[in-house]
Amino acid sequence: MRRLYHIWLDPGCRIARVVLAEKRVDFELKVEMPWQRRDKFLQMNPAGDVPLLIEKDGAILSNTRAVVEFLEEQYPEPPLLGQTPHERAEIRRLMGWFDGKFMTEVAHHLMSEKIMKRFLKMGQPSSDAIRAALYNMRTHLDYLDYLTERHNYLAGDRFSMADIFAASYFSVLDYLGDVDWDGHDAAREWYIRVKSRLSFKPLLEERISGLTPPRHYSQLDF
Amino acid sequence: MRRLYHIWLDPGCRIARVVLAEKRVDFELKVEMPWQRRDKFLQMNPAGDVPLLIEKDGAILSNTRAVVEFLEEQYPEPPLLGQTPHERAEIRRLMGWFDGKFMTEVAHHLMSEKIMKRFLKMGQPSSDAIRAALYNMRTHLDYLDYLTERHNYLAGDRFSMADIFAASYFSVLDYLGDVDWDGHDAAREWYIRVKSRLSFKPLLEERISGLTPPRHYSQLDF
């Protein structure tokens, strides 16, 4: 059986899960806590991070963007990366936007302060870092508005990897109660469209014991 | 004419330049200092970062990984991303290793402390950050050794994007005099192989006024 090593509330793992679900590819989930740096896991992935996918043929795939590009090549239906080099470039630009810029400016801080430090008690959370991340998030929500006022989805009128990346990141921060959707109607409508997909259902139903999301988290109309 | 906006000593810009040169695609270079946040530039790339490529048809491409994937699709010769989905997954994993892990653990600190703060006088350099980055770099050099003891190039016996990513990152840190190649013979031999390529020549000849690289920087046998 195909196996995906993942950890809860990790955007990259959520991305891999949604892509697998969109492509209707069966897999079993296995929790890996990367901070334990298990020897056997490091042998499979010296980077030590999740998601890590083991294919039925034994191939070991890691690095979120490498995993989803592989899935797109192996399981082309439905296409999630556009049809032309120009479309793919736009989708990949947005994948990079969330995986890079949004991660660095927003998600990394909130996940590190609220999940790693506060919830897993691995250090003293910094309210400055949280404040800076929340401040930075507004610019990103404005950019989401800009994109979704023009098209139904981030890279155009078709659902794509760009939406999966963005919504996976936002879903983690939304679980933490950190996304203020007020005043971002276009972005909110887009997020409702994405979270209504069957592929997102397992994520929205998942709960971490001791860490409760706000009530609107799994509501499809919020 | 195709135009690449770049800044000196930036790994992503070096990656784009080498890929264009490997594929013998003509382009003109234009310097963009992303910290100036020029309005006209932000209109082309709201992320505000370089490299940014303007194609002859006017298409605007940004985000390093999106740019090089686009170039691979538009100009398939010579192939730099392998032949099979599994080969591409390994090459992309290593692209992500350098663009992600190596950037975060090593390159970001050295570039930010030594280039942005010390050289461009945008703040007080932190010797702790520099020390941590140099310490982290050893693990990465060990991993380069591990890979290059087994194959001529990082993802196998063929030169690929993985080598371009790794060597572009290392070339920037080598310019800063921060790479201690001693005891890393396999990695050093690999770097000699890569820096001997014609596509690397313009990078090795480039000098920043007031910032002199160590003597071995542009030597092909060091």
Q: Tell me the pLDDT tens digit for each residue of A12-27.
A: 999 999 999 999 999 9
Looking at residue A221, its pLDDT comes to: 83
Q: Which two tokens stand for residue A114?
A: 């609220």
Per DSSP, the three-state class of B123 is coil
pLDDT at residue B222 greater than cutoff 90: no
Across A113-117, B54-58, B191-195, least confident range: A113-117
Give the nearest partner residue to A89 out of B49, B70, B92, using CB atoms: B70
SS3 A98: helix
Position A219 scores a pLDDT of 92
**What is the per-residue DSSP string for A174-186?**
HHTT----TT-HH
The confidence band for B60, taking pLDDT boundaries of 50, 70 and 90, is very high
Contact B3, B27 (CB under 8 A): yes
Contact criterion met (CB < 8 Å) for A97 and B47: yes
Three-state SS for B78? coil
CB-closest option in B62, B67, B89 to A70? B89
Return the pLDDT at A118.
87
- pLDDT tens digit sequence for B72-98: 999 999 999 999 999 999 999 999 999
| A97 vs B63, B67, B85: nearest CB | B63
Spell out which residues of chain A touch residue B70, defining contact as CB-CB under 8 Å: 85-86, 88-89, 92
Gap from B218 CA to chain A (nearest CA, Å): 30
pLDDT bracket for residue B221 (50, 70, 90) = confident
Q: Under an 8 A CB cutoff, do B97 and A47 touch?
A: yes
Q: Rounded to a whole number, what is the distance in Å from the CA of A220 to chain B's nearest CA?
A: 30
Give chain B's length: 222
Q: What is the CA radius of gyration of chain B?
A: 17
Among chain B residues, CA nearest to A89: B66
Cα separation, B78 vs B172, whole angstroms: 25
Cα B20 to Cα B28: distance, rounded to the nearest angstrom: 11
Contacts of A100 in chain B (CB under 8 A): 63
Average pLDDT over residues B200-216: 95
Predicted TM-score (pTM) above 0.80: yes
Domains of chain A listed by start with CATH number:
85-197 (1.20.1050.10)
Q: How far is A62 from chain B (nearest CA, A)?
A: 6
**Partner-chain residue, chosen from B47, B73, B90, that has the shortest CB–CB distance to A85:** B73
Check: CB of residue B149 under 8 Å from CB of residue B137.
no
Structural element, H or E, at residue B53: strand B52-54
CA distance A133 to A148: 22
Q: What is the pLDDT of residue A111?
A: 95
Structure tokens at A92: 């990949």
Low-confidence ranges of chain A (pLDDT < 70): none
Digit-coded pLDDT (tens) for B141-180 = 999 999 999 999 999 999 999 999 999 999 999 999 999 9
By a Cβ cutoff of 8 Å, what residues of chain A touch chain B? 46-47, 49, 59, 61-67, 69-70, 73-74, 85-86, 88-90, 92-93, 95-97, 100-101, 143
Cross-chain Cβ contact A88/B65 below 8 Å: no
Contact between chains at A96 and B66 (C-beta distance less than 8 A): yes
Written as six digits, the tokens of B201 are 């020549």
Compute CA distances B60 → A152, A161, B57, B118, B125, whole Å: 22, 20, 9, 33, 35
User: A216 CA to chain B: closest CA distance, Å?
Assistant: 30
In degrees and rounded to multiples of 5, residue B113 shows phi and psi of -75, -45
Proportion of chain B above pLDDT 70, given as a percent: 100
State the pLDDT at residue B187.
98
* Alpha-carbon gap: A215 to the closest alpha carbon of chain B (Å): 33
The one-letter amino acid at B145:
D
Instruction: Tally A–B CB contacts below 8 A.
Output: 74
Sign of the alpha-carbon torsion through B172, B173, B177, B182: negative
Q: Are A73 and B88 contacting, i.e. CB atoms less than 8 angstroms apart?
A: yes
Which chain B residue shows the shortest CA-CA distance from A68? Answer: B89
Enumerate the β-bridge partners of residue B1.
none
pLDDT of residue B118: 87
CB A138 within 8 A of CB A178: no
Question: How far is Cα A84 from Cα A99, in angstroms, rounded to an integer?
Answer: 22
d(CA A107, CA A129): 11
**Inter-chain CB proximity A93 and B63 less than 8 Å:** yes
Of B62, B89, B93, the CB nearest to A93: B62
Task: Give the Cα separation of B171 and B175 in Å (integer).
Answer: 6
The ipTM assigned to this model is 0.97
Of the candidates B166, B90, B27, B46, the residue with the CA atom closest to the CA atom of residue A96:
B46
Tokens standing for residue B211: 């910032």
Note whether A67 contacts B73, CB cutoff 8 Å. Answer: no
**Spatial distance between the Cα atoms of A86 and B54, rounded to a whole number of angstroms:** 12
Residues contacting residue A1 through CB under 8 Å, at least 6 positions apart: A26, A27, A28, A56
DSSP B3-17: EEEE-TT-HHHHHHH
Please give the structure tokens belonging to residue B71.
């170039």
Cα separation, A52 vs A44, in Å, equals 9
**CB < 8 Å to B82, chain A:** none
3-state secondary structure of B62: strand
- Cross-chain residue pair A88–B69, CB shorter than 8 Å: yes
- Whether omega for the bond prior to residue A78 falls within 30 degrees of 0, making it cis, is yes
